[in-house]
């Protein structure tokens, strides 16, 4: 892509706050810089909201709630469907915008736009399927009328690693259910969300239903909104540490919460597995989004009989990956989001090698501009290595051999997290046994990708609360009301 094209997609994005259907500057006049992680240079500056701006956004959401809840479900769904069409029509320019601010290769960015759009199409169809119930009381005297209604104004906080899809996964069900929103995207990647706000406005979303605040002071802006009491729900995707703090804040007003938090996904390969499929799955589960995903395979446990062969094949595949700026043709490994991410990966790899792990490929940073780290495979990684308990969030695959099924399950479950696990085996009985015993909200059985808008996404233990997507995703934005009827 030429510099003119890149400048064009960045220049087309409104860079102010979107409050009450209007683009407005931060009341302080402050802005902050958005950087290209492949070069470390500035792309642009966007409005830097403060607490007063956040409160104005909540005011707008509260003012719009009653009118929006009264809009017919079909019309809410049609707005989402129109937004879906616009996302697909503009996929190439939105993908380039995402690559510039986040770093992932263009092909992956285009895939994320398609994935993000699917949440709008899915929840457009779910809007008209919100149901209730009617039943006779057990004593036959009265009747039970069960209905659903929007939970009310919601606060949405999204991460930088999937800047469009994590937005549509929350906005879609909120719109379908009839909830107004204040959304705060990550400071590293605000442009995708600002572009999405424009698209939803074009699709006919009424003023005040979606309000976007970009800020470098997440706590200073969002905590007052949580403690205000008028918002009735918080949906957050991010780290477990931040999630815990938000839960404490939500407890004061008993805000309904749904949270998709950290992961530490085990990837189990048994000796009866199809190794070609296992390596393909490993590449998907590890290298999707440069490894910067909560669903990324974080710990590879491979049965000893196939560990050497699996390691060899995975190493060959990782060595063949082209690294560079995401706009360059053929690039598969883009930059990490920032210098802090590179430093974390570097420290985790050093800790593992200091404890006896061997580097089969990679294991180092890359000289020059940008935040790059080589695609890496480690073997004989001890279970006490830091990366066995901490999210790597980078292109590093640590392999640890195991002997028995029970040992593999014990190692896989030895974590406070429980988002996703991957299992590769051709034994159907083992597949079911292991899947049932793994402590995770999602299982990838002989496949390396689990995310799908039509499936319930979420974890157990300290990986989160609630589910996004699927038929249950909209329930997170609905309250159930029971009406007792006397006859």
Enzyme catalytic residues: 260
DSSP 223: H
- How does 113-138 read in b/e, with b if 16+ C-beta sit within 10 Å? bebbbbbbbbbbebbeebeeeeeeee
Nearest Cα residue to 82 out of 129, 116, 117: 117
Residue 335 three-state SS? coil
CA distance 285 to 280: 9
Q: Where are the alpha helices (DSSP H) in 381-442?
A: 405-413, 428-437
The dihedral through the CA atoms of 434, 312, 323, 35 has a sign that is: positive
CA distance 163 to 158: 7
CA distance 443 to 267: 10
Q: For residue 155, what are the CA distances in angstroms to 13, 119, 210, 280, 398? A: 23, 18, 10, 38, 37
Residue 40, C-beta contacts closer than 8 angstroms, at least 6 positions apart: 369, 370, 371
Given a contact cutoff of 8 angstroms between Cβ atoms, the answer to whether 341 and 192 are in contact is no
**Half-sphere exposure (Cβ direction) of 271: Cα atoms closer than 13 Å:** 11
Residue 113 three-state SS? helix
């Amino acid at each position: 892509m030429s510099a003119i094209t890149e400048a064009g997609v960045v220049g087309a994005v409104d860079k102010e706050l979107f409050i009450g259907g209007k683009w407005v500057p931060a009341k302080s006049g402050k802005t902050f810089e958005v950087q290209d992680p492949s070069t470390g240079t500035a792309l642009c500056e966007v409005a830097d909201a403060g607490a007063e701006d956040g409160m104005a956004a909540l005011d707008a959401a509260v003012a719009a709630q009653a009118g929006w809840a009264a809009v017919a479900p079909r019309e809410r769904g049609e707005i989402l469907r129109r937004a879906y069409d616009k996302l697909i029509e503009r996929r190439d320019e939105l993908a380039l915008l995402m690559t510039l601010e986040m770093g992932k290769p263009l092909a992956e960015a285009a895939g994320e736009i398609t994935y993000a759009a699917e949440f709008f199409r899915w929840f457009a169809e779910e809007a008209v399927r919100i149901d209730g119930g009617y039943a006779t009381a057990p004593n036959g005297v009265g009747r039970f009328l069960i209905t659903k209604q929007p939970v009310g104004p919601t606060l949405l906080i999204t991460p930088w690693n999937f800047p469009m899809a994590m937005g549509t996964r929350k906005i879609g069900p909120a719109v379908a259910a009839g909830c107004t929103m204040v959304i705060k995207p990550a400071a590293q990647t605000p442009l995708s969300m600002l572009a999405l706000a424009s698209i939803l406005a074009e699709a006919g979303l009424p003023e005040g239903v979606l309000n976007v605040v970009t800020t470098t002071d997440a706590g200073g802006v969002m905590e007052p909104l949580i403690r205000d009491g008028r918002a009735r729900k918080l949906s957050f995707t991010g780290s477990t540490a931040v999630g815990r703090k938000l839960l404490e804040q939500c407890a004061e007003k008993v805000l309904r919460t749904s949270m998709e938090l950290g992961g530490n996904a085990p990837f189990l390969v048994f000796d009866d597995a199809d190794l070609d499929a296992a390596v393909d799955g490993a590449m998907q589960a590890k290298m999707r989004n440069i490894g910067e995903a909560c669903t990324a395979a974080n710990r590879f446990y491979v049965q000893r009989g196939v560990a050497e062969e699996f390691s060899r094949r995975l190493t060959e595949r990782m060595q063949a990956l082209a690294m560079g700026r995401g706009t360059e043709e053929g690039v598969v490994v883009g930059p990490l989001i920032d210098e802090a991410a590179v430093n974390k990966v570097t420290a985790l790899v050093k800790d593992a090698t200091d404890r006896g792990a061997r580097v089969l490929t990679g294991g180092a940073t890359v000289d020059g501009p940008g935040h790059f780290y080589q695609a890496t495979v480690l073997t004989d990684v001890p279970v006490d290595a830091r990366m066995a308990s901490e999210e790597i969030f980078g292109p590093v695959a640590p392999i640890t051999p195991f002997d028995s099924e029970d040992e593999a399950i014990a190692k896989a479950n030895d974590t406070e997290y429980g988002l996703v696990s991957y299992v590769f085996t051709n034994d159907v009985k083992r597949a079911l046994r292991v899947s049932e015993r793994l402590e995770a909200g999602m299982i990838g059985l002989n496949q390396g990708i689990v995310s799908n808008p039509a499936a319930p996404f979420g974890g157990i233990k300290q990986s989160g609360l609630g589910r996004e997507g699927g038929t249950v995703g909209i329930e997170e934005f609905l309250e159930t009301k029971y009406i007792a009827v006397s006859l």
